[in-house]
Amino acid sequence: MGSAQVIESGKAVMGLEFGSTRIKAVLIDEEFKVIAQGNHDWENKLKNGIWTYSEDDIWEGLRDAYADLARDVKDKYGVVLKKVASMGFSAMMHGYLAFGRDERLLVPFRTWRNSITGQAAEETTNAFQYNIPERWSIAHIYQAILNNEPHVKHVKFCTTLAGFVHWKVTGEKVLGIGDASGMFPIDPKIKDYDKAKVAIFDNMLEEKKVPWKLEDILPKVLVAGEPAGTLTPEGAALIDPSGNLEPGIPLCPPEGDAGTGMVATNSVAKRTGNISAGTSIFGMVVLERELKNVHKELDLVTTPDGSLVAMVHANNCTSDLNAWVNIFEEYTEAMGIKADKNKIFSVLYNKALEGDPDCCGVLSYGHLSGENIMGTSEGRPMVVRTPESEFTLANFMRANISTAFGALKIGMDILVNEEGVEIDSVLGHGGIFKTEGVAQSILAAAINAEVSVMEGAGEGGPWGMALLAAYMSQKEEGEKLSNFLANKVFANAKKSTLAPKPADVRGFEEFTRRYAECIEIEKKAIECLK
């Protein structure tokens, strides 16, 4: 069956993901290949000290991404997109979306990017003996309580961005287990919120005289493959005001971007890992056992089917790197040269491979926002060097790519060296890997392990969401997600694998030593540069 027939007959599957800088919608066919896509660029805004997206941003972005997808379908195949076999939403994890009795936001959306919950994260970590990072929803909830914010007593429902969109188009207050694991700790044995920790938190709520219990305000947890409602007429109109999109489409559980990254890289089986690089960066390894100790650098989340995952999450990755590429684009235009943006990326990235493995003393902090692993509450992007450093374009670019993996490496070293976690394979995905072999080889040096990149590594998230929707509608009785992916989706997948070079490993160790020791420069900049 050709792509036009697949779409017209309603057999295509749709995945939509709200990333940090782009909302993307994709259609996949029955062989799981992307046959159409749509995009909408957006950016979070710093308002009153809070990183946020407005509700208008969310719905306008969704409608524009879907309209772009529908245009792509019409332009390529001459058909009108009306229905799909199944669909699903994913988005950035964590953060705080709190709703009152009238189902309206009580305060503006607080995204994962905010480093404003330090006290709550510390107190809940101590209470649970389980690491609660600042960006987790439960940290945001408790910090609002500690701050005595007036809206707290009116809270009736809290969810994530993916859960919010799913709720509004289906009426279902549910969440995929992977996304839910970034709201509150999950017990992988029962595949639900950890009952013991819920009881501890309810006692904390009682002490603070909060008039609700935790499970009253959290979404219901679902695992991959479970039905999660259908598209309502109101939901269809919300996505597609033209009226072409038909209601009644089944939806899979909404998931977080960590979960879609695992799916898109076939990394849901134990001892597999993946690194998802974008505005932030996630390094995830599916565990065979629970960790021995609590580490503030390591989150414990789950795969979309509920297996325990150790996650190293750094708030900063490619944003400042992209800003430097934009500067070089401005320069070429100022010189009267009209260069293709993709070529500028390619030239600059490949130049990094000519740099010294330790960047010869050139140090970069690509921190646009605070970095929990490094103990910084705000971001101050900077490049610093000594007079003796060899300040070449090659070393400059290598330093800016290396810093994208700096905080990640510190967390991964704890996972491997202190916890003894064994990893059979690591796959990278995200835009930083589009230039073949560059970021892949530097990452291999950073984690001292082979790194593989699959075809389509730059656009993993929405495709991973579409695969979860396809799994729900196409899985056989009793078929596990890992088997569905390995045997049906990735059976013939092409990938390239690079092993770390010993000289590069030594060089990155030296870069990391400087990166860690000189973080006081970054802290001083936060203090001085207001």
- Average the pLDDT over 377-406 and give the result: 96
Domain boundaries, the chain: 319-404+503-528
Q: What is the reported pLDDT for 501?
A: 96
Would you place residue 494 in the very low, low, confident or very high pLDDT band (cuts 50, 70, 90)? confident
| Residue 112: closest CA among 165, 59, 174, 50 | 50
Neighbours of 183 (CB within 10 A): 28
Torsion of CA 497, 503, 506, 509, to 10 degrees: -50
Question: Tens digit of pLDDT for each residue in 124-155?
Answer: 999 999 999 999 999 999 999 999 999 999 99
Q: What is the pLDDT of residue 329?
A: 96
Name which of 183, 194, 6 is nearest 93 in CA terms.
183
Residues with Cβ within 8 Å of residue 203, at least 6 apart in sequence: none
**Average confidence (pLDDT) over 497-502:** 95
- Tokens for 375? 């103990």
Q: Which DSSP string corresponds to 234-268?
A: HHHHHH-TTS-S-S--BBPPPEEHHHHHHHHTT--
Write the pLDDT tens digit of every residue in 179-230: 999 999 999 999 999 999 999 999 999 999 999 999 999 999 999 999 999 9
Q: Is pLDDT of 265 > 90? A: no
pLDDT of residue 455: 73
- CA 259 – CA 70 distance, rounded (Å): 26
CB 434 within 8 Å of CB 453: no
Contact assessment for residue 318 and residue 279, using Cβ atoms and an 8 Å cutoff: yes
Sorting pLDDT into bands at 50, 70 and 90, what band is 459? low
For the packed helices 341-352 and 438-447, what is the interaxial angle rounded to 10 degrees?
40
Task: Determine the pLDDT at residue 454.
Answer: 83
Average pLDDT, the chain: 95
pLDDT band of 250, cuts 50, 70, 90: very high
| Average pLDDT score over residue span 309-330 | 94
Please check whether residue 260 is in contact with residue 466, taking contact to mean a CB–CB distance below 8 angstroms: no
| pLDDT at residue 285 in the model | 94
Cα dihedral 204/205/207/212 (nearest 10): -150
Q: At a CB cut-off of 8 Å and minimum separation 6, what does 522 contact?
A: 365, 367, 374, 376, 380, 382
Q: What is the pLDDT of residue 460?
A: 73
Residue 322 confidence (pLDDT) above 60: yes
Are the C-beta atoms of 263 and 447 separated by less than 8 Å? no
- The Cα–Cα gap between 491 and 17 comes to 25
- Mean pLDDT over 251-272 rounds to 92
Q: How far is CA 278 from CA 66, 329, 378, in A?
A: 22, 20, 18
Which contiguous run of DSSP H or E holds residue 410? helix 406-413
Question: Do the beta carbons of residue 134 and residue 195 sit within 8 Å?
Answer: no
Confidence class of residue 64 from pLDDT cuts 50, 70 and 90?
A: very high
Q: Is the pLDDT of residue 375 over 80?
A: yes
pLDDT at residue 515, as a whole number: 97
241 vs 461, which has greater pLDDT? 241
The per-residue DSSP string of 37-56 comes to EEEEE---EEETTEEE--HH
Mean pLDDT score, 261-273: 90
Q: Is 70 helix (H, G, I), strand (E, B) or coil?
A: helix
pLDDT at residue 2 in the model: 92
User: Which residues have C-beta within 8 Å of that of residue 343, sequence separation ≥ 6?
Assistant: none
Considering only CA atoms, which of 189, 208, 223, 261 is closest in space to residue 19?
A: 261
- Tell me the mean pLDDT in the region 487-514: 94
DSSP string, 290-313: --SS--TT-EEEE-TT--EEEEEE
Cα 106 versus chain centre, distance: 25
Q: What is the pTM of this model?
A: 0.84
Give the confidence band of 456 by pLDDT, cuts at 50, 70, 90. low
- The whole-angstrom separation of Cα 444 and Cα 195 is 39
Q: Within a 10 A sphere around the Cβ of 504, how many other Cβ atoms?
A: 18
Q: Determine the pLDDT at residue 372.
A: 83
Residue 220: strand pairing partners: 174
Q: Is the pLDDT of residue 289 over 60?
A: yes
Looking at residue 29, what is its pLDDT? 96
Confidence of residue 424 (pLDDT cuts 50, 70, 90): confident
